[in-house]
């Protein structure tokens, strides 16, 4: 039983969040257990490890994890920890191997996690059973259309149930063609002195800060067809003017989506969107055929931010995928990847990869602006009085709009619905007494728009 | 023990006067950037400039990449227009993180200047430390190497290409929005 009352730390009706949730070390320890040890977490993508022996390293919470395709073709994930004394068995970030050999005493594990060789085994051990000393596996690893997820929970919802209706939206990126999406390159990795929740809810829902926090960048980046237009994504460049028509935030608990719904503005920030939009319009008819009118015409090509709880963001338009790894209560690592449909022409992929780097890479002109806020919100509560404060996410609360897709929608991307939903889900997970309680109770299923 | 090697030849050393001019150029460039004089900096660049910073790859020495989509990726991959855009952003007066001003101190050292196949183009290697200091105690220093090509033009030396190598895999800094 936790000593914290998570019912009080988040007040959903008043849309208030206690600032201690970004600061309190013991809350962070609860998060590692309740959230990162139970939820389905993004591990990687098939395109990164297509062949037997291909591996990559990532994190599940703070646990260092190896994700590897074994000789048998199956993808597994293991704690990166030797079962002898606990040294890491792999220090490379990615590669291809038949075995992971511990650098301490030389125990070697095959790429299916079995302990294959122990130096001097016969001579020195009378009691060693190699079959019981394989790498510790991540309890379940499942794949959704190329996306590899893992959970430490032995039971509880399967991946498909966990994603639920979010699959409807994810498919716009993952299933726009039979070949599907791929991740490109090695991720940008940056460690920032802030709490992990802040970059997550910022990316999935904070349309409000874009024009102001990034005002310098907004003045110099391109906007579709308008050269340096006065408004970006419906928001005036100096935070004046606001147009919420035809834009939305939608809650698909435990996940969220923000989208401009115009089928094109994902490329608003590109300097040379021409080839991207040309390709987009070329594939649109086939996507409409695959996914229907709503997804093919309204979602495809829109600036669409999909938040998969807890720490994955898939951003169509900017065409990036980000994972936020916690590093203690006061720091996080962001890993940012470029993504594109596999069929995308190289010329367009090249534009996308460059654009991701120039906007949200390590030296991205937008990415860099947010570090100060995250740091201040996280670390100012070192002060006792500041720690008693609450953050407020009351914008557009109660505003509703009709939307044919799954979930409850609210108008405008300048809205705090997605962020409220994130904290509601955070609270739900922190209160869950078992893994079977991490998902919200099923709402009456809405008839979804053309499947 | 590594075999005794001759110092790797990048090219023939430039003459002393050229080497001196190149050192002066790099020092002036660092000063101009420290002083946030971006227009003056842009004037030191050749308009065909290629400006890159790759992410270091932490793979095993004998990595066999196979068919993985993971491959070398650039933190900076800019042309003249993009550098101009970054400079223009700094000059908007709306980059809140630089107000109060951020202070940069660039130190350039170990400068080596070599001739290339083209008579007026020099291959210049250097090491740098870029100290960034802002707010109360937000001090961060990045150390790396640079591989530049400089061209002698009627209008003085111009930077034609720069590849910056920062050895940190995970950048522990709120951003790398600075010119190296
Ligand atoms: S700790 Fe790995 S072999 Fe001993
Ligand atoms: Fe931002």
Instruction: Dump pLDDT digits (tens) for A27-45.
Output: 999 999 999 999 999 999 9
Please state the separation of Cα A430 from the chain's center in Å: 19
Chain A contact set for B177 (CB, 8 A): 363, 365, 368
pLDDT over 80 (residue B5): no
pLDDT for B6 equals 65
Which band of pLDDT confidence, cut at 50, 70 and 90, is reported for residue A226?
Answer: very low
Which band of pLDDT confidence, cut at 50, 70 and 90, is reported for residue B64?
Answer: confident
Tell whether B43 lies on the interface with A, counting CB pairs under 8 A.
no
* Residue-wise burial string across B108-135, b where 16 or more C-beta atoms lie within 10 A, e elsewhere: beebebebbeeeeebbbebebebebebe
Nearest CA, atom 4, ligand 1? A105
For residue A310, say if its preceding peptide bond is cis, omega within 30 degrees of 0.
Answer: yes
Q: Where are the alpha helices (DSSP H) in A99-229?
A: 121-124, 159-163, 166-174, 197-205, 210-213, 215-220
Among the residue ranges A166-175, A225-234, A278-287, the one predicted with the least confidence is A225-234
Q: How many domains does chain B have?
A: 1
Which band of pLDDT confidence, cut at 50, 70 and 90, is reported for residue A241?
Answer: low
Q: Which residues contact B37 (CB under 8 A, 6 or more apart)?
A: none
- Which segments of chain A belong to CATH 2.102.10.10? 41-143
The reply to whether B177 falls in a domain is no
Considering only CA atoms, which of B100, B74, B55 is closest in space to residue A372?
B100
For A418-450, the pLDDT digits (tens) are 999 999 999 999 999 999 999 998 755 555 544
Nearest CA, atom 1, ligand 1? A85
Question: Nearest 10 degrees: CA dihedral of A171, A172, A173, A174?
Answer: 30
pLDDT for B65 equals 85
**Interface predicted TM-score (ipTM) over 0.90:** yes
Rounded CA separation A377/A31 (Å): 18
Tokens 């919200």 locate to: A440
How many angstroms separate the Cα of B105 from the Cα of each of A85, B29, B33, B35? 45, 12, 9, 9
Nearest C-alpha of chain A: how many angstroms from B157? 27
pLDDT for A451 equals 42
Among the residue ranges A83-87, A133-137, A261-265, B31-35, the one predicted with the least confidence is A261-265
Ligand nearest to the CA of A102: 1
Tell whether A236 lies on the interface with B, counting CB pairs under 8 A.
no
- Between the CA of A204 and the centroid of ligand 2 the distance, in Å, is 10
Please state the separation of Cα A425 from the chain's center in Å: 15
- Between the CA of A50 and the centroid of ligand 1 the distance, in Å, is 29
Task: Find out whether A377 and A17 touch, Cβ atoms under 8 Å.
Answer: no
Considering only CA atoms, which of A357, A356, A35, A394 is closest in space to residue A196?
A35
Q: Where are the alpha helices (DSSP H) in B63-104?
A: 80-90
Nearest CB among B74, B78, B89 relative to A220 is that of B89
Are A217 and B170 within 8 A, CB to CB? no
For B19-36, the pLDDT digits (tens) are 999 999 999 999 999 999
pLDDT for A236 equals 55
The reply to whether B79 falls in a domain is yes
* Chain A residue closest in CA terms to B53: A363
- At residue A290, the 3 state secondary structure works out as helix
Nearest CB among B53, B76, B92 relative to A220 is that of B92
Which band of pLDDT confidence, cut at 50, 70 and 90, is reported for residue B103?
Answer: very high
CATH number at residue B84: 3.10.450.50
User: Quick one: which H or E segment has residue B18?
Assistant: helix B16-34
* Chain B residue closest in CA terms to A182: B69
Are B85 and A271 within 8 A, CB to CB? yes
- Which segments of chain A belong to CATH 3.90.380.10? 165-450
Task: Find out whether A16 and A392 touch, Cβ atoms under 8 Å.
Answer: yes
The reply to whether B68 falls in a domain is no
Segment A264-291 shows an average pLDDT of: 94
Are B174 and A192 within 8 A, CB to CB? yes
Rounded CA separation A209/A292 (Å): 33
CATH of A41-143, one of 3.20.20.70, 2.102.10.10, 2.40.50.140, 3.50.50.60: 2.102.10.10
The reply to whether B5 falls in a domain is no
Task: Name all residues whose Cβ lies below 6 A of ligand 1.
Answer: A 82, 84-85, 87, 102, 104-107
> In testing the pocket of ligand 1, which one of A83, A105, A115, A119 has its CB within 8 Å of the most ligand atoms?
A105
Nearest C-alpha of chain B: how many angstroms from A125? 31
Ligand nearest to the CA of A83: 1
Rounded CA separation B95/A143 (Å): 41
pLDDT for B163 equals 98
Structural domain boundaries enclosing B118: 12-56+73-165
Segment A79-106 shows an average pLDDT of: 98
Are B69 and A189 within 8 A, CB to CB? no
Report chain B's mean pLDDT, rounded to a whole number: 94
pLDDT for A275 equals 95
* Adjacent-strand bridge partners of A341: A181
Chain B contact set for A368 (CB, 8 A): 97, 174-177
Chain B contact set for A54 (CB, 8 A): 66-68
Among the residue ranges A96-110, A255-269, A281-295, B118-132, the one predicted with the least confidence is A255-269
For residue B53, say if its preceding peptide bond is cis, omega within 30 degrees of 0.
Answer: no
The residue that leads in pLDDT, A443 or A304, is: A304
pLDDT over 70 (residue A93): yes
The reply to whether B112 falls in a domain is yes
For A179-196, the pLDDT digits (tens) are 999 999 999 999 999 999
pLDDT for B2 equals 52
Percentage, residues of chain A above pLDDT 70: 92
pLDDT for B149 equals 98
Segment A268-275 shows an average pLDDT of: 89
pLDDT over 80 (residue A210): yes
Percentage, residues of chain A above pLDDT 90: 88
Which band of pLDDT confidence, cut at 50, 70 and 90, is reported for residue A246?
Answer: confident
- At residue A18, the 3 state secondary structure works out as strand
Nearest CB among B70, B76, B89 relative to A94 is that of B70
- At residue B31, the 3 state secondary structure works out as helix
pLDDT for A243 equals 67
The reply to whether B173 falls in a domain is no
Are A216 and B90 within 8 A, CB to CB? yes
Rounded CA separation A360/A431 (Å): 34
pLDDT for A227 equals 46
* Adjacent-strand bridge partners of B149: B123, B161
pLDDT over 70 (residue A215): yes
User: What's the CATH fold of domain A165-450?
Assistant: Naphthalene 1,2-dioxygenase Alpha Subunit; Chain A, domain 1 (3.90.380)
Tell whether A345 lies on the interface with B, counting CB pairs under 8 A.
no
């Amino acid at each position: 039983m936790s000593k914290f009352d998570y019912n009080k730390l988040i007040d959903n009706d008043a849309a208030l969040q206690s600032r201690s949730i970004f600061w309190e070390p013991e809350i962070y320890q609860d998060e590692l257990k309740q959230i990162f040890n139970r939820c389905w977490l993004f591990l990687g993508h098939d395109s990164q490890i297509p062949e037997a022996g291909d591996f990559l390293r990532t994190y599940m919470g703070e646990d260092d994890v190896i994700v590897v395709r074994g000789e048998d073709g199956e993808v597994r994930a293991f704690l990166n920890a030797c079962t002898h004394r606990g040294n890491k068995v792999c220090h490379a970030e990615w590669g291809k191997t038949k075995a992971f050999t511990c650098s301490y005493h030389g125990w070697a594990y095959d790429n299916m996690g079995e302990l294959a060789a122990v130096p001097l085994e016969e001579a020195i051990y009378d009691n060693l059973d190699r079959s019981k000393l394989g790498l510790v596996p991540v309890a379940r690893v499942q794949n959704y259309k190329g996306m590899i997820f893992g959970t430490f929970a032995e039971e509880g919802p399967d991946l498909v149930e966990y994603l639920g209706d979010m699959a409807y939206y994810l498919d716009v990126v993952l299933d726009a063609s039979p070949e599907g999406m791929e991740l490109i390159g090695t991720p940008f990795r940056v460690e920032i002195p802030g709490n992990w929740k802040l970059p997550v809810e910022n990316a999935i829902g904070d349309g409000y800060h874009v024009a102001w926090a990034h005002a310098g960048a907004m003045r110099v980046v391109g906007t579709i067809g308008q050269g340096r237009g006065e408004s970006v994504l419906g928001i005036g460049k100096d935070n004046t003017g606001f147009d919420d028509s035809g834009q939305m935030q939608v809650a698909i608990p435990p996940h969220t989506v923000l989208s401009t719904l115009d089928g094109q503005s994902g490329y608003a920030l590109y300097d040379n969107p021409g080839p991207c939009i040309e390709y987009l319009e070329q594939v649109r008819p086939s996507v409409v055929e695959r996914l229907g009118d709503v997804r093919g015409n309204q979602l495809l090509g829109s600036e669409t931010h999909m938040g998969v709880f807890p720490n994955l963001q898939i951003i169509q338009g900017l065409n990036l995928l980000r994972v936020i790894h916690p590093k203690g209560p006061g720091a996080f690592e962001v890993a940012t990847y470029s993504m594109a449909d596999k069929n995308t022409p190289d010329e367009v992929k090249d534009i996308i990869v460059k654009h991701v780097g120039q906007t949200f890479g390590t030296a991205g002109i937008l990415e860099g602006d947010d570090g100060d806020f995250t740091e201040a919100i996280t670390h100012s509560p070192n002060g006792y009085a500041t720690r008693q404060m609450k953050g407020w996410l009351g914008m557009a609360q109660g505003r509703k709009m009709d939307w044919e897709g799954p979930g409850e929608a609210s108008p405008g991307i300048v809205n705090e619905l997605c962020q409220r939903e994130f904290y509601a889900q955070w609270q739900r997970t922190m209160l869950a007494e078992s893994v079977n309680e991490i998902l919200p109770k099923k709402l009456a299923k809405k008839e979804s728009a053309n499947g | 023990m590594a075999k005794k090697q001759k110092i790797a030849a990048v090219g023939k050393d430039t003459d002393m006067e050229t080497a001196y001019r190149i050192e002066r150029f790099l020092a002036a460039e660092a000063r101009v950037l420290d002083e946030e004089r971006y227009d003056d900096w842009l004037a030191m660049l050749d308009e065909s400039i290629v400006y890159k910073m790759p992410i270091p790859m932490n793979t095993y020495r004998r990595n066999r990449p196979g068919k993985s989509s993971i491959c070398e990726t650039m933190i900076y991959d800019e042309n003249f227009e993009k550098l101009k855009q970054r400079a223009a952003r700094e000059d908007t007066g709306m980059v809140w993180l630089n107000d109060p001003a951020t202070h940069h101190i660039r130190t350039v050292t170990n400068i080596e200047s070599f001739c290339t196949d083209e008579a007026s183009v020099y291959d210049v290697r250097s090491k740098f430390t870029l100290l960034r200091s802002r707010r109360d105690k937000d001090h961060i220093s990045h150390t790396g190497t640079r591989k530049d090509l400089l061209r002698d033009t009627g209008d003085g030396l111009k930077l034609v290409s720069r590849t910056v190598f920062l050895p940190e895999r995970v950048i522990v800094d709120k951003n790398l929005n600075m010119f190296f």
